[in-house]
Amino acid sequence: MTQARSASFVGNPVVVPTASDRPVLKERGQREVFCGLTGIVWLHRKIQDAFFLIIGSRTCAHLMQSAAGVMIFAEPRFGTAIIDERDLAGLADANEELDRVVERLLSRRRDIKMLFLVGSCPSEVIKLDLSRAAERLSREYAPDVRVLNYSGSGIETTFTEGEDACLEALVPDLPAAADDAPANLLVVGTLADIVEDQFRRLFAAAGIDQVDFFPPRRARELPEIGNHTRVILAQPFLTATVRALESRGASLVPAPIPLGIEGTDAWLRAAAGAMGADLNQLEAAIAPARKRSEAAVARIRPELEGKRVFFMPDSQLEIPLARFLAREMGVHLIEVGTPYLNRRLMAEELALLPDVQLSEGQDVERQLDRVEAANPDLTICGMGLANPLEARGMPTKWSIEFVFTPIQGFDQAGDLAALFARPLGRRGRLAFGGEEAVACN
């Protein structure tokens, strides 16, 4: 398979006017999204020797076990130091209390190599200085345990921004690359292990061997960073992390997110271009995977073509996902909400996205009124909102699934399409659903 091909996308492109300064409906009102603490649900699985200690209230602890509880097999690698009356009344010294909790934790759990102190709404409001605590504890437990801190508080972060904050906190720990180090490619944002392996194989086949992934699978396997580092994003929500990486000398490779065939193709080409790889060799390397993914995606496209889809704002993945649906699956987008729009990081995505109502922020009641009025074929939304829509006969998809599922890259493009098709297919399979909601509880 050495035949060189042009970079033009070969799916079923939907040609639409695009613009990066397109109008956005900005909303302010009740938001129905997780706070940044929720990122721990996947981060504690990704970085296997890290532990995440939230300094917060019972609400934080309950959020974590409710959002993650149904997904946890073994003991989690996270916990909460619950602030109580005595801490608030000044009867207990918060730092001493924290030291005691950390000591209990680390003495029981000696496999921890990195400990994140994670700030929460209450810890922010009472202005607990976790960065000083992290420094102190890091000194105390060096060299066994590195202690870092970041905030996942809901007054500052929304859902996936927790990962952004966590990675940002990690950046200062990245070892500096030598000035004469060869260029390296740093893929940033949590990916499934199997997807990382695939990308690594593709890059290797294209002659790019200096590839690192961030976050790493183990806390001590931190990639080097320097002026020759090319950063490419695997996830869209990494505003602060990119800023921090750039401050370490790295440069950002503009690219869409590697979702769908088109996104993956452009992403790989952008990475290869930035690394100065031979594009013919790249083409030869990726053609087989792209070709089979076209077949896989084409098989599912008829189930989605022409369907009307509404994205509630949740993970910041909404724009890349919408772009994939519109351009590769022929979906009609009704509204694409995002909790926060970073125009710079989303520039390549926005250039591809068809003309559609974009919204940023949320007033959940009004937005649900719009959903109701539009009666979409599929609504992508948070966990709390899905069943009430299903009960009204409107199929939904949990937005969190796109964070938890291997969907990036060619060989997952079919899976990604299938994720969207599943709720529609299910309605088709089931002999139910003709009736209006009737309370059955």
Partner 1 sequence: MQLTVWTYEAPPHVGAMRVATAMKGVHYVLHAPQGDTYADLLFTMIARQKTRPPVTYTTFQARDLGGDTADLFQQAVSDAYERFAPEAMLVGASCTAELIQDDPGGLAEGLALPVPVVPLELPAYQKKENWGAGETFYQIVRRLADRDIRPSPREGRAPRCNILGPCAMGFRHRDDVTEITRLLGLMGIEINLVAPEGASPRDIVSIGNADFNVVLYPEIAQSAAKWLEREFNQPMTTTVPIGHGATTDFLEEVAGLAKTVVPLSLRSEAASRMPWYSTSVDSHYLTGKRVFIFGDGTHVLAAERIAREEMGFDVVGIGTYSRELAKPIRKAAAALGIEPLISDDYLEVEAAIQECQPELVLGTQMERHIAKRLGIGCAVISAPVHVQDFPARYSPVMGFEGANVLFDTLVHPLVMGLEEHLLGMFREDFEFNDTAQPSHLAAHSPAAHMPEPSAISVGAPSNDDGPAWDNDAEKELKKIPFFVRGKARRNTEMFAVEHAITTITVETLYDAKAHYSR
Asked if 318 touches partner 1 (CB under 8 A), the answer is no
Paired tokens of 416: 């990604």
Q: How far apart are CA 200 and CA 183, in angstroms?
A: 16
* Cis upstream peptide for 302 (omega within 30°): no
Looking at the Cβ atoms of 76 and 223, the one nearer to partner 1 is: 76
Site residues for partner 1, window 7-66 (CB under 8 A)? 29-38, 42, 45-46, 48, 55, 57-63, 65-66
How far is CA 397 from its chain centroid?
16
User: Which residue of 40, 50, 81, 358 would you call a contact of partner 1, by CB under 8 A?
Assistant: 81
Beta carbons within 10 angstroms of residue 73's beta carbon = 5
Q: How far apart are CA 189 and CA 320, in angstroms?
A: 14
Looking at the Cβ atoms of 21 and 111, the one nearer to partner 1 is: 111
Q: How far apart are CA 46 and CA 67, in angstroms?
A: 17
Task: Point out which span in 5-13, 101-109, 271-279, 370-378 binds partner 1 (CB under 8 A).
Answer: 101-109
Convert residues 358-377 into a mask of x (bound to partner 1 by CB under 8 A) and - (unbound): -------x------------
Asked if 85 touches partner 1 (CB under 8 A), the answer is yes
Q: State the minimum distance, in angstroms, from the CB of residue 404 to partner 1.
A: 4
Site residues for partner 1, window 332-351 (CB under 8 A)? none
For residue 258, which of 245, 269, 244, 248 has the smallest C-alpha distance? 269
User: Which residue of 84, 173, 221, 372 would you call a contact of partner 1, by CB under 8 A?
Assistant: 84
Task: Read off the amino acid at residue 153.
Answer: S
Q: State the minimum distance, in angstroms, from the CB of residue 169 to partner 1.
A: 18
Looking at the Cβ atoms of 60 and 233, the one nearer to partner 1 is: 60
Looking at the Cβ atoms of 137 and 250, the one nearer to partner 1 is: 137
Asked if 164 touches partner 1 (CB under 8 A), the answer is no
Task: Give alpha helix (H) positions in 109-259.
Answer: 121-125, 130-141, 161-170, 193-205, 239-247
Q: Contact at 8 Å (CB) between 35 and 159? A: yes
Q: How far apart are CA 44 and CA 186, in angstroms?
A: 21
Asked if 158 touches partner 1 (CB under 8 A), the answer is yes
Looking at the Cβ atoms of 132 and 201, the one nearer to partner 1 is: 201
Looking at the Cβ atoms of 320 and 339, the one nearer to partner 1 is: 339
Q: State the minimum distance, in angstroms, from the CB of residue 364 to partner 1.
A: 8
Looking at the Cβ atoms of 29 and 175, the one nearer to partner 1 is: 29
Looking at the Cβ atoms of 320 and 361, the one nearer to partner 1 is: 361
By 3-state DSSP, what share of the chain in percent is helix, strand and coil, each rounded to 5?
45, 15, 40
Q: Any idea how long the chain is?
A: 441
DSSP per position, 34-74? -BGGGGHHHHHHHSTTEEEEEEE-HHHHHHHHHHHGGG--S
CA angle 190–195–197, rounded 5-degree value: 110
Q: State the minimum distance, in angstroms, from the CB of residue 435 to partner 1.
A: 4
Beta carbons within 10 angstroms of residue 207's beta carbon = 14
Asked if 307 touches partner 1 (CB under 8 A), the answer is no
User: Which residue of 19, 20, 172, 217 would you call a contact of partner 1, by CB under 8 A?
Assistant: 217
Q: Contact at 8 Å (CB) between 53 and 101? A: yes
Convert residues 242-281 into a mask of x (bound to partner 1 by CB under 8 A) and - (unbound): ----------------------------------------
Site residues for partner 1, window 276-305 (CB under 8 A)? 288-289, 292-293, 295-297, 299-300
User: Which residue of 26, 132, 201, 220 would you call a contact of partner 1, by CB under 8 A?
Assistant: 201
Asked if 121 touches partner 1 (CB under 8 A), the answer is yes
